[in-house]
Amino acid sequence: MMDVIGAFGGYIQNEKRYSAHTVNAYLRDLNQFATFLTSSFNGINPLNANFRHVRSWVVNLMEQKNEARSVNRKLSTLNTFYKYLLREKLVIFNPTEKVTSPKNKKRLPVFVEEKPMSDMFTKIDFGGGYEGKRNRLILNVFYMTGIRLSELISLKISDIDFHENTLKVLGKRNKERIIPFNTGLRNEIQDYLKERNEISTNPELFVTDKGEKLYPKLVYRVVTQYINIVATIEKKSPHVLRHTFATHLLNNGADLNAIKELLGHANLAATQIYTHNSFEKLRTIYKKAHPRA
């Protein structure tokens, strides 16, 4: 059986071009499934498993308090594995097809409230040197544009149109979008560039204090440091500022389709999750304000 799993690993690595991290995760899932069959069904071979065996594994995983998202990923691994076995004519059916996936628990996007975000830019002293100006601008670009971490790191000076006050962003699936920004952000970018251009000729907007392209860990460190000062939320990351951008726009009356375009979402369903945060805010206001709530 290990030979089959090993051959499958070679298939997803060499033909499907999955990353080494993904390949290891898939093989780990398959070995876990094989171990479960050995301990629970007298050593039945995965090649002979049916949907009842797979369903029992899913139930077992849920009973062990695995999150639905994690279980569904493991099911996806099995599905890919059995499709491969079908292709190789090693099985005659895919036992995962009759198994219902557990429902993912909806997680509301974590965001920073408006006052703490205002405090971040009005009450914190970032310092007057290059690093302070860069860190403040990183936070402001995230909050004012809602771009992703990878998009911020790849942002080039040439992507900025100072006449129209817009950013050109290349997002997922190489989809380009244009994001407007206000005069305040334009002035801050121009002020930052005076010092930035003295230490680097790289095309990227953001560089380290040595003039090199930024790396994700540095940006995470900056974002975490300053969110910690103004907010007590548990999760702190660049994506939290993207959530904050979208939630604040929605709370202040922005059209959902417009937010979708600004975020670069492929469909409206991905954007609609922010309406839950807005609804929760309305619920809180209602409970506080209505005499019989």
- Residues forming the active site: 148, 172, 239, 242, 265, 274
Contact criterion met (CB below 8 Å) for 17 and 68: no
DSSP 8-state class, residue 207: B
Query: Which residues are within 8 A (CB) of 290 and not within 5 positions of it... i.e. 6 or more apart?
Result: none
Complete DSSP assignment for 10-60? HHHHHTS---HHHHHHHHHHHHHHHHHHHHHTTT--GGG--HHHHHHHHHH
Distance CA 286, CA 277 (A): 14
Of 54, 109, 72, which is closest to residue 241 (Cα–Cα)? 109
Q: Which residues contact 179 (CB under 8 A, 6 or more apart)?
A: 145, 146, 147, 166, 167, 169, 262
Q: How far apart are CA 138 and CA 44, in angstroms?
A: 55
- Rounded Cα–Cα distance for residues 247 and 274 (Å): 6
Q: Provide the pairing of β-strand 176-180 with 160-161.
A: unpaired
Residue 245 has which token pair?
A: 């951008």
